[in-house]
Structure 1
Amino acid sequence: MRNTNAEAQVSATVLVSGRVQGVYYRKFTVDNATDIGLVGFARNLPDGRVEVVAEGKRADIEKLIGLLEKGPSYASVEDVDVSWSSASGEFRDFSIRR
């Protein structure tokens, strides 16, 4: 039996806007992504957004996106924009990039 799409490794680039810098948003993302079993990174962008690149199973990434829509307690998420693509396979863990 062939692997289903649910098992395929995919990548999502997530741009999160609102009050998401200086509120432990990246650490929140790393902790949750690691718990779910995803790889990738989170970083602050100069325009005040946080960029998250996550690779893994689509269902697991969707679980992370649900958490990103809420964020940590001090965050105020206004918008979450997601772009899907094929997994690059370049990541070994989930980290904060500067």
Structure 2
Amino acid sequence: MKVRAHIFVSGRVQGVFFRSEAKYEAEKRGVKGWIRNLRDCRVEAVLEGEEEAVKEIVEFCNRGPSGARIMHVDVTWGNYTGRFKVFEVKYDS
């Protein structure tokens, strides 16, 4: 079953390759969507794909890359839309 997850990650998540590592993990699993830094120092992501693959990316967001310190992860689950063709890093906030 395909699902959608909208995620906000807070803590030390900027300047630690969080977005690039998340992109790598998502692409490896066929997950589509996007990730971006927010001005309030959080990271936001929208993920779509097979449920197990999306859950694995959510797990990654809970631990982050080695330099990250995750304080809180907020996940909102939703219906798959099929809107995304790739997983991309967005540079706007």
TM-score, normalised to structure 1's length?
0.89
1:88, CA displacement in angstroms? Answer: 1.9
1:91, CA displacement in angstroms? Answer: 0.6
The percent of aligned pairs where both chains have the same amino acid is: 38
C-alpha distance in 2 between matches for 1:61 and 1:10: 7
User: What residue is the counterpart of 1:69 in the other structure?
Assistant: 62
Runs of 5+ in structure 2 lacking a partner? none
User: What residue is the counterpart of 2:43 in the other structure?
Assistant: 50
Runs of 5+ in structure 1 lacking a partner? 1-7
Alpha-carbon displacement from aligned partner over 1:16-72 (angstroms, at most 9, x marks no partner): 000001111000110001011100010001111000110011111111111111111
Q: Name the count of aligned residue pairs.
A: 91
Aligned CA RMSD, in angstroms, stands at: 0.8
Q: Match of 2:52, as an amino acid? A: A
Q: Match of 1:57, as an amino acid? A: E
1:96, CA displacement in angstroms? Answer: 0.1
Moved more, 17-26 or 85-94: 85-94
Structure number with greater Rg is: 1
Q: Match of 1:36, as an amino acid? A: R
C-alpha distance in 2 between matches for 1:34 and 1:86: 20
1:1-98 matches, within 5 Å, as: 8-98=1-91
TM-score, normalised to structure 2's length?
0.93
